[in-house]
Structure 1
Amino acid sequence: MKTAFRLSVLAAAMSCTIATPVFAQDAAPTTEEELATMRAQLQALVSRIDQLEGELAETRAANEAQETAIAANAEAAAQPAPEPVPAAALEKKDGWSFKPRGRLMFDAGWTSAPGSTGADDGFGNEVRRARLGASGDLPGGFGYKFELDFAGNEVEAADAILTYDAGNAEIAIGHQNNFQSLEELTSSLHTSFIERAAFTDAFGFERRIGASVSFNSGIVLAQAGVFTDNFDDTDTDNRSFDGRLVVMPKMGDTQLHFGGSLHYNDLGEDDATVRYRQRPFVHFTSTRFVNTGNLDADSEFGAGIEAAVISGPFHAAAEGYLQNVDMPLAMEDPTFFGGYVEAGYFLTKGDTRGYKGGKFDRVKPENPLGAGGIGSVQVNLRYDHLDLNDVGIIGGVQHGYQASLIWKPASNTLFSVNYGRMDYEDAVLPTSTGETDYGVDAFGVRAQVDF
């Protein structure tokens, strides 16, 4: 288009220039001076055309850029604002990554027991967990996770693990959970109540130093490991072998979970003992109404089954666990039992319980506070049973009836209200009249944040 414009202007100019001397031939012949003048005028005209073409191109480019910017702004305005990427997630270079992590849980409440038992009840509070640590990747397919817990005026190691990703399998070495119970393996950040089911603490489920492998293919998860003891008891001769198998199929939007676990612990000492006991629902009291006392033991063997379902706002879970103790001087080895049944429901639209890797996971509110909603609100009910009576050992029986209300304003913040009624049979703390069958009430609240 530029060329055509230039040619048309030059043609017009040349016609005018040529025509002038033709008509002037009648008057006088054209001189060299006049031809030079006409050539100068023609060159000036060409220069002016070049200038006009440049200005026209600049104007068109500016208009196109403005139109593109307007269209881009309109498209951006129609899209939701992207969520900010946490700075920690960006700390990755040459196969290395570093992500700080932590959690803080503050509990308060009270317990109420018959006064004549001498139990230490009333108001209580504590920093239940105060953890700081980090996790990330290392070159060559390795990873790490390390956390320290500062609660209770002590510094204790929680997870301290080196892992290796072998495709469908993960190998872990270090201080870690061994494979007992859906309730135990679910993070304390994501449980339905401020304390786990009674049998998990009573039977001594805890992190131990060892090596393990987890294999996950489709709906099947298999886990196994060998362990010694935890960081606080490295001088013991404990040697345990643990395994867990989980099948986790989905039916439409419904997540199912079926699993079982085995545990064998060789105590390895001639004078070794075990003790099984439990608090009345809340952790900030040190009183135990069920307690076997110390039992001479060579080893212990445990077996558990677990099942769960998540369907929209509804979830349910149930577990049972048997703990057998090999007592060298006993006529018969005792077997104790613990278990629970629970159900929960979200009152807020669109919310559901999280599930990942064979355990319950984080709840992410569909409409968090500050983004047009109030967060998620969930109610839960549970029956919790612990029986520490068998073959002449009277450790007591605890029936727990529990309820909780959980509000999560956002994914990493939680507030919870909990109530538990514990009915005891053969409680180890009798009343002044010798009564060992009575009830204890417990109430607890929690404020929690993690990152």
Structure 2
Amino acid sequence: MLRAALLAGCAVVPSLAHAQALSVQDAAALRSELEALKAQMQALQARLDKAESGAASAAASAQSATTTAQKAVELANKAGSAPTIKFKGAPEISDGKGWSFKPRGRLLFDAAVVDAPRGIVDRGLGFSNEVRRARLGVEGTIPGGFGYKFEADIATGDAELTDAFLDYKRGGLTVTVGQHNTFQGLEELSSSNDTSFIERAAFTDAFGFERRLGVSAQYQAGPVLAQAGLFTDNAADLSNDENNGVGGDLRLVYAPMLGHSQLHFGVSGHWRDLGDAVTNVRYRQRPLVHTTDTRFIDTNSLGGATKETGYGAEAAVIAGRFHAAGEAFWQTVRRTGAADPTFFGGSVEAGWFLTDDTRSYKGGMFKSMKVKHPLGSGGIGAVQVNARYDRLDLSDGAVIGGVQDGYMASLIWTPVDHIRFMLNYAHMDYTNATVVNAINGDRSYGVDTLAARAQLSF
């Protein structure tokens, strides 16, 4: 535009010169002005040439930057598609597109002493020890919202299937198919890695709580959790083709926050048709340790059994270092040609961390805690003390299986995440204990146990 304007100006000046006669002085002045104008035009032309050269250079630089950015994006995409590894007790491999794989396992070594009155002769008393659990497995996710878990226990020398299932998650919904837990209650659903005592409450073992093959669904919306499932039997028992037992389980949980405290309230219902392969049931229990096979309370075989019905209630609170939990469960056996006895089990406990730690909770169960000040990183780990009252009543009507009242204390040291050491003491008062363990006909007496555990989990 500047160039066009200057050219137009130059065209006007000669026209004016021809329009009238000029004096010598005016002609000299006009020539001087034209020279000055020519110099300005040359200067402007130089500036225009420089601007055009700069624009071309800028355009070239922009193109180069665009190419570099495109290459960076391509490299980032390639890097994003490469597997990543995170360490969560064991390496977890993920491709960022939905696939993941993680080995998992646990080792629990127990030792215990059972001290019973001298009149009881049983070689299973005194000192005993065992590998309580030795599990190894894998878990992970699959694109589309699917997940899997497979784990077996080899503590007894033979592989025993524990979890083996495929699940699907979408929002708050989880659908599970395979062998898994049957929504029995708070402590049974919480991992054995995270319980307050070496063994769970006595009723959970006495009433035969176990994983079973089936299909289940659960849905969580805020503090409300609903769980339901249909199950057959434990995978190990399904080798008998006559086993056609089937059951259903339902559990409802309300777990709100009250300030900084986590509350938990739950109820559950359980029904099981024993089918053709089972006609007798038996309920009994060890003295709150698993290292001995001695049972001081035992219903013996209950014939004519056709169905089992159970009802449970549970409550818990976690408030900083403090926690408390309690459960109650009623188990009824339906029988043909005999009365239908109802047995009871329950426990209540409270615990306190001596260190600045707290129990973890998620999805209607206790979860693995995170040590705030691990050993070796300026702290001593987490130290917790717990107390519990545990009751199991296996007597009703004509069935006299006995009553076990347990008074328990535990000390737990978790030096770092995934490692735990436990020390348990329990005193049990027995009423109507088994006849085989009677003392000169007296079936009421006390038994003490002291147990310890070393634990690794990942």
Kindly, what percent of the aligned residue pairs are identical?
56
Relative to the length of structure 1, the TM-score reads 0.79
Q: Tell me the secondary structure at the aligned position of residue 200 of structure 1.
A: helix
Counterpart residue number, 1:106 = 109
Which residue number corresponds to residue 166 of structure 1? 170
Report how many aligned residue pairs link the two structures.
367
1:137 is paired with a residue whose SS is: strand
**TM-aligned CA deviation for residue 259 of structure 1:** 0.1
Where 2:156 maps in the other structure, the secondary structure is helix
Report whether the alignment pairs 1:218 with 2:225.
no
1:335 pairs with one of 336, 342, 348: 342
Checking the alignment, whether the CA contact within 8 Å between 2:296 and 2:437 is kept in structure 1 is no
Q: Within 5 Å, give how 1:2-401 maps onto structure 2.
A: 85=87, 88-92=91-95, 94-119=97-122, 120-234=124-238, 235=240, 236-269=243-276, 272-296=279-303, 297-330=305-338, 332-349=339-356, 351-401=357-407
Q: Partner letter of residue 382 of structure 1?
A: R
Partner of 1:72: none
SS of 2:92's equivalent?
helix
* TM-score, normalising length: structure 2: 0.78
Pairwise CA distance, 1:118:
2.0
Distance 2:111 2:277 in 1: 42
| Root-mean-square deviation (Å) | 1.4
TM-superposed deviation, 1:93: 5.4
Distance change (3 Å), C-alpha of 1:271 and 1:167: closer
5+ residue gaps, structure 1: 1-82
Q: Write the distance in 2 (CA, Å) between the matches of 1:282 and 1:430.
A: 17
1:218-276: CA deviation from partner (whole Å, max 9, x where unpaired)? 00000000000001111222101001000000011100000000000001127611111
Amino acid at match of 2:423: V
Say which SS state the counterpart of residue 415 (structure 2) adopts. Answer: strand
Q: CA deviation at 1:96?
A: 1.5
Unaligned ranges ≥5, structure 2: 1-84
| Cα pair 1:293 1:395 within 8 Å, conserved | yes
Spell out, residue by residue over 1:383-438, the C-alpha distance to the aligned partner (whole angstroms, 9 max, x if none).
00000000110100000000000000011100000011111000003434111000
Quick one: distance in 1 between partners of 2:265 and 2:181?
A: 19
Query: Distance between the aligned counterparts of 2:283 and 2:244, measured in 1?
Result: 19
CA distance in structure 2 between the aligned counterparts of 1:92 and 1:145, rounded to whole angstroms: 18
Q: In structure 1, what residue type is equivalent to 2:318?
A: I
Shift of 1:322: 0.3
Cα distance in 2 between the residues matched to 1:270 and 1:104: 34
CA–CA distance in structure 1, aligned partners of residues 446 and 288 of structure 2: 12
CA distance in 1, matches of 2:277, 2:337: 12
Which range moves more in the overlay, 279-288 or 161-170?
Answer: 161-170
Partner Cα separation in structure 1 for residue 278 and residue 214 of structure 2: 24
Distance across 1 between alignment mates of 2:264 and 2:295? 33
Q: Give distance in 2, aligned partners of 1:155 and 1:416.
A: 26
Shift of 1:95: 2.4
Of 406, 409, 414 in structure 2, the residue corresponding to residue 408 of structure 1 is: 414
Rate the CA distance shift 1:226–1:442 in 2: closer, same or farther, 3 A: same
Distance of aligned partners of 1:270 and 1:163 in 2 relative to their CA distance in 1, 3 Å threshold: closer
Report SS of the residue matched to 1:206. coil
Q: Answer yes or no: is the 8 Å Cα contact 1:353–1:361 preserved in 2.
A: yes
CA drift of 1:91 comes to 3.5
Structure 2: distance between partners of 1:304 and 1:271:
24
Q: Is the 8 A contact 2:86 2:92 kept in 1?
A: no
